[in-house]
């Protein structure tokens, strides 16, 4: 049997609540789905690849939680509407939404085609809009709820990922508008902005990018990369009743990475700070540049 998630929150925090996690088949979505289920939520994971979604659902069931899957392409307005309608019909409610799904690829702006630009904007910004408005339309307008959007370290630009950075910046601004327009419906909209996190998606990047990431660790004020659990904990907080008075905000989970001024003020953090990792099924980084990081050696 899969070891239970070691959440810092009380086990029944989300008892009787239904939460939809897009992109729940891998990475931060998978981790957050596990934590929410461990806290009593009925979790629905959505995405385009049923195999990975069913894998997450099976893991959660084995750990004693509740999780179902729904196939959804967040770029398709009709499919999004049908999926959210199905979730409400199946579970009778929709209390929380984690807009985690998205995607990008490395490319300098001068090599980025208009189609490549539109694809990433559509997947990240438009997809977040479509799922959020469907959740509001079919449940939250009448009953309230909480929405959390995925961002990134967008405050100083993102060379090589300008399309993603622009889309995520749009999501943050959209969240501010939704917060005001939907205040009368008691719908809370917030965001989380991870820095460089040791998630399964890291190993999909080119080897050179992985090595650059490892080499840059000493410039991070925390002296290490973040864990999936640390991002999930922020998402769970924003979805929980403890965040009822938190609206239109972004929590940066980046170890101070977005504020680092290492070019002007050298940072030295030997060995890095202590990390928190409550996820027993974290990715295996063996054979990648990440396996040399002290935090992985210490946790083994």
What local confidence, expressed as pLDDT, does residue 219 receive?
84
Give the list of residues 6+ apart from residue 146 with CB closer than 8 angstroms, or none. 95, 96, 97, 187, 188, 189, 190, 238, 239, 240, 243
State the CB neighbour count (10 A cutoff) for residue 239. 28
pTM of the model: 0.88
Can you give the pLDDT of all 300 residues of the chain as single tens digits? 667 899 999 999 999 999 999 999 999 999 999 999 999 999 999 999 999 999 999 999 999 999 999 999 999 999 999 999 999 999 999 999 999 998 878 788 999 899 999 999 999 999 999 999 999 999 999 999 999 999 998 888 888 889 999 999 999 999 999 999 999 999 999 999 999 999 887 887 778 878 888 888 888 889 899 999 999 999 999 999 999 999 999 999 999 988 875 544 555 666 667 788 888 887 888 888 888 887 776 555
What local confidence, expressed as pLDDT, does residue 264 receive?
43
What local confidence, expressed as pLDDT, does residue 192 receive?
98
Q: Which CATH architecture has domain 18-299?
A: 3-Layer(aba) Sandwich (3.40)
What local confidence, expressed as pLDDT, does residue 299 receive?
56
Cα distance between residue 95 and residue 17, in whole Å: 6
DSSP string, the chain: -PPPP--SS-TTTTTT-EEEEETTTSHHHHHHHHHHHHTT-EEEEEES-HHHHHHHHHHHHHTT-EEEEEE--TT-HHHHHHHHHHHHHHHS---EEEE---------GGG--HHHHHHHHIIIIIHHHHHHHHHIIIIIHHH-EEEEEE--S-BTB-TT-HHHHHHHHHHHHHHHHHHHHTGGGTEEEEEEEE-SEE-GGGGGS-HHHHHHHHHTGGGSTTSS-EEHHHHHHHHHHHHSGGGTT--S-EEEESTTGGG--TTTS----TT--------TTPPP-TTSGGGGSHHHHHH-
User: Using an 8 Å Cβ cutoff, are 150 and 102 in contact?
Assistant: yes
Cα distance between residue 273 and residue 275, in whole Å: 6
Cα distance between residue 234 and residue 214, in whole Å: 24
Cα distance between residue 161 and residue 121, in whole Å: 11
What local confidence, expressed as pLDDT, does residue 58 receive?
97
User: Using an 8 Å Cβ cutoff, are 59 and 34 in contact?
Assistant: yes
């Amino acid at each position: 049997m899969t070891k239970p998630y070691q959440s810092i929150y009380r086990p029944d925090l989300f008892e009787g609540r239904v939460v939809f996690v897009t992109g729940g088949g891998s990475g931060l979505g998978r981790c957050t789905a596990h934590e929410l289920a461990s806290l009593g939520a009925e979790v629905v994971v959505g995405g385009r690849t049923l195999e990975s979604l069913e894998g997450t659902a099976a893991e959660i069931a084995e750990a004693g939680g509740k999780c179902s899957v729904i196939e959804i392409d967040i770029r398709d307005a009709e499919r999004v509407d049908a999926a959210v309608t199905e979730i409400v019909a199946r579970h009778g409610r929709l209390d929380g939404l984690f807009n985690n799904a998205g995607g990008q690829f490395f490319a300098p702006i001068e090599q980025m085609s208009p189609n490549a630009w539109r694809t990433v904007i559509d997947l990240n910004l438009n997809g977040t809009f479509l799922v959020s408005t469907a959740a509001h339309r079919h449940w939250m307008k009448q009953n309230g709820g909480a929405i959390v959007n995925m961002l990134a370290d967008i405050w100083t630009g993102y060379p090589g990922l300008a399309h993603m950075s622009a889309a995520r910046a749009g999501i943050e601004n959209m969240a501010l508008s939704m917060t005001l327009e939907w205040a009368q419906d008691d719908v809370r909209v917030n965001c989380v902005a991870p820095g460089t996190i040791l998630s399964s998606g890291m190993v999909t990047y080119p080897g050179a990018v992985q090595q650059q990431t490892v080499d840059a660790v000493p410039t991070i004020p925390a002296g290490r990369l973040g864990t999936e659990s640390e991002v999930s904990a922020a998402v769970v907080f924003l979805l929980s009743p403890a965040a009822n008075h938190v609206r239109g905000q972004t929590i940066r989970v980046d170890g101070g990475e977005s504020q680092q001024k290492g070019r002007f003020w050298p940072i030295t953090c030997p060995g890095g700070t202590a990390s928190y990792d409550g996820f027993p099924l974290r990715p295996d980084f063996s054979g990648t540049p990440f396996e040399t990081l002290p935090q992985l050696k210490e946790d083994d």
